[in-house]
């Protein structure tokens, strides 16, 4: 069986540093931080009182009031970024074969805000329990994919992947594989998360997973820095249109990049900590490259998982050096989480967009907030600190890892017919 080729034809983003894909890209290149004191609720009693929120988002700008009430924020975010991506791809919704157009979405948590508010509203009250009839439909993690398909009438494969912070990367890999096999022509993919609420902040704080740098939020996400003290909680959505090459060419679509690999692995090590030698990370990069027979020496750029956590930021560079050898020092590495914070299940999508645009434009966004080298990290690696850098980017990887030891890696290549 001859495998198909897969390309990217549309992008949409709703992030803490930009409410569209162009805004997001511009902010990345400027090195802007999305971290600031929390405005969604009173966080004064929490150890951490800041996050990377989506700024100035009003659901009523995008949905009528009745519709907005049916969507948890994670679904609202998904619908907004998807509308942008569908328009960006120039999809003819009337002429499209909707039986061969699917939606595979990613979310690590789903409707956490809905769950928290419904349970908090019931807790401790006497009398018959009262819950909203929308409680379950708003909360379940698959509902964003369902609403996208309902809005546009897409009847192809439709589901959600949940693998913690690797969720949207796993969703995109499934899209890539299904198009390769000829199961669909187009997939709407990506991920969304909306965990900046009392439950999300409190849960991650109790794990000691997030930064407590309340005196200086904008520099709190500092991947690979000696004084990093945890990730910065973020939220948002990213949508990417995956399309079979010949289908895209027939309709004259613009093509951002080609997808040439998708790797998946498990650390099989610990519930929340990465394998200390980066074993799973090495395996997943090898798996991504094996799809198209790409040699490690062809990789120019890696958008790392780079969360600003004490253990993760040691393990991933070890994996890069262990897998790539001497070539590791020729790769431009970065962590866009230094600017966006950690979008959890949406991280893979947001970072894939940054990686795709790096390939298209031959520019590497920076890793900001680096102040002190960590002696446990190989500092001969090129982490693209402080400023964006122009360089040829033929093939790039986007790494995403999640609690439970889930690892995913996507490979993007500059498109050539």
**In which element (H, E) is residue 409 found?**
strand 406-413
Q: What is the DSSP string of 278-322?
A: -HHHHHHHHHHHHTTT--GGG--EEE------TTHHHHHHHHHHH
Q: How far apart are CA 88 and CA 103, in angstroms?
A: 17
Q: How far apart are CA 305 and CA 196, in angstroms?
A: 20
**CA distances, 35 to each of 116, 128, 157, 254, 367 (Å):** 23, 42, 36, 33, 15
Q: How far apart are CA 389 and CA 51, in angstroms?
A: 27
Q: How far apart are CA 358 and CA 379, in angstroms?
A: 23
Query: Across the strands, what pairs with 365?
Result: none
Buried b (16+ CB within 10 A) or exposed e, 66-89: eebeebbbbbbbbbbbbbbbbebb
Do you know the residue count of the chain? 417
Looking at the annotation, which residues are catalytic?
165, 305, 342
Q: For residue 307, give both structure tokens.
A: 């969360």
Contact 281, 322 (CB under 8 A): no
At 12, phi and psi to the nearest 5? -150, 140
Instruction: Give the pairing type, strands 301-303 and 363-364.
Output: unpaired
Burial of 120 (0-12, 13-18, 19+ CB in 10 A): exposed
Question: Which of 347, 9, 413 minimizes the C-alpha distance to 164?
Answer: 347
Contact 396, 301 (CB under 8 A): yes
């Amino acid at each position: 069986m001859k495998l198909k080729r897969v390309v990217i034809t549309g992008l949409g983003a709703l992030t803490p540093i930009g409410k569209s894909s162009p805004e997001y890209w511009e902010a990345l290149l400027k090195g802007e931080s999305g971290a600031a004191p929390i405005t969604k609720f009173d966080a004064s009693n929490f150890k951490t009182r800041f996050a990377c929120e989506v700024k100035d988002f009003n659901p009523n700008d995008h949905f009528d009031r009745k519709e907005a009430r049916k969507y948890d924020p994670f679904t609202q975010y998904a619908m907004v970024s998807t509308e942008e991506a569908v328009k960006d791809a120039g999809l003819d919704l009337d002429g499209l074969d909707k039986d061969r157009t699917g939606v595979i979405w990613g979310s690590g948590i789903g409707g956490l805000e809905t769950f928290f508010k419904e349970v908090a509203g019931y807790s401790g009250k006497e009398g018959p329990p009262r819950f909203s009839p929308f409680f379950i439909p708003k909360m379940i993690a698959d509902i964003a994919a369902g609403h996208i398909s309902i809005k546009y009438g897409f009847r192809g494969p439709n589901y959600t992947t949940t693998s913690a912070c690797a969720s949207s990367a796993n969703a995109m890999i499934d899209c890539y594989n299904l198009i390769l096999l000829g199961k669909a022509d187009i997939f709407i993919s990506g991920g969304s998360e909306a965990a900046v609420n009392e439950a999300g902040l409190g849960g991650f704080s109790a794990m000691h997973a997030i930064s407590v740098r309340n005196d200086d939020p904008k520099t709190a996400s500092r991947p690979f820095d000696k004084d990093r003290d945890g990730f910065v909680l973020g939220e948002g959505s990213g949508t990417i249109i995956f399309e079979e090459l010949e289908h895209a060419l027939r309709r004259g679509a613009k093509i951002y990049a080609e997808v040439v690999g998708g790797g998946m692995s498990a650390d099989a090590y610990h519930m929340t900590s990465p394998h200390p030698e980066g074993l799973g990370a090495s395996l997943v990069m090898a798996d991504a490259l094996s799809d198209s027979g790409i040699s490690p020496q062809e990789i120019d750029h890696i958008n790392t998982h780079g969360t600003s956590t004490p253990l993760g930021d040691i393990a991933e560079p070890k994996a890069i050096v262990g897998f790539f050898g001497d070539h590791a020092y020729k790769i431009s590495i970065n962590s866009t989480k230094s600017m966006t914070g950690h979008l959890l299940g949406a991280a893979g999508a947001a970072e894939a967009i940054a990686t795709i645009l790096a390939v298209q434009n031959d520019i590497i966004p920076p890793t900001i907030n680096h102040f002190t080298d960590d002696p446990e990290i190989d500092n001969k690696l090129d982490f693209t600190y402080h400023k964006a850098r122009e360089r040829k980017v033929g093939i790039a990887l986007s790494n995403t890892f999640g609690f439970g030891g889930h690892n995913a890696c996507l490979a993007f290549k500059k498109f050539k017919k």
